[in-house]
Amino acid sequence: MTTQPAPRARFTGWHFTLIMIAFFGVVIVVNVGMARIASRSFTGIVVENGYVASQSFNRWLDAAARDKAMGWSAVAHRQADGHVVLNLAGAPAGTRISAAHAIQPLDGKADRALAFTPAADGSFGSAQALPAGRWRLLIEAEGQGQTWHGEVPLQ
């Protein structure tokens, strides 16, 4: 008795169509996922000319190392009325905020300068209110002949 091998299933146009739909479906799902991750993680750092900015990169690193060596740090939060309270840690007594800019990462047109005045508890309060949103504060503080530059996120 001889047994016949089972007939092979034929590869039809429907098989090919299902494979192509599955392949492109995976590609589309991955692309949409990556686009969502990218749009949520955008830091907002934009420069006019990347080449010119790259020429200053080492100076920026040196300045950041000097600021870090000073041991100062800042924490900021927005009050219900929109005014910003800034606390400096490690700064000597009598330190003042000489310059502060609020940068909105996604809309450079909304950027604005802020003025801070010292409070009795050692913190600093902004004279201007900021609208709700995501902001970065660029701070320049001076105390005892030293100048510190810092960047603080503000949600």
**Tens of pLDDT along 10-59?**
899 999 999 999 999 999 999 999 999 988 877 666 677 888 888 888 99
The predicted pLDDT at position 49 comes to 82
| SS3 (DSSP) at 136 | strand
From residue 79, alpha-carbon distances to 2, 18, 69, 90, 121 in Å are: 88, 56, 30, 23, 16
Q: Which two tokens stand for residue 134?
A: 């995501």
Pick left, alpha or beta for residue 36 (phi over 0 → left; psi -120 to 50 → alpha; otherwise beta). alpha
Domains of the chain (ranges; CATH) run 71-154 (2.60.40)
Residue 32 is predicted with a pLDDT of 97
pLDDT of residue 111: 86
The rounded distance, in Å, linking the Cα atoms of 141 and 149 is 7
- How do residues 59-89 score in pLDDT, each as one tens digit? 989 999 999 999 999 999 999 999 999 999 8
**Residue 6, SS3?**
coil
Closest alpha carbon to 70 in 155, 152, 10, 149: 149
CA distance 53 to 55: 5
What pLDDT sits at residue 122?
A: 86
Whether this prediction's pTM lies above 0.85 is answered by: no
* Confidence at residue 38, expressed as pLDDT on a 0 to 100 scale: 85
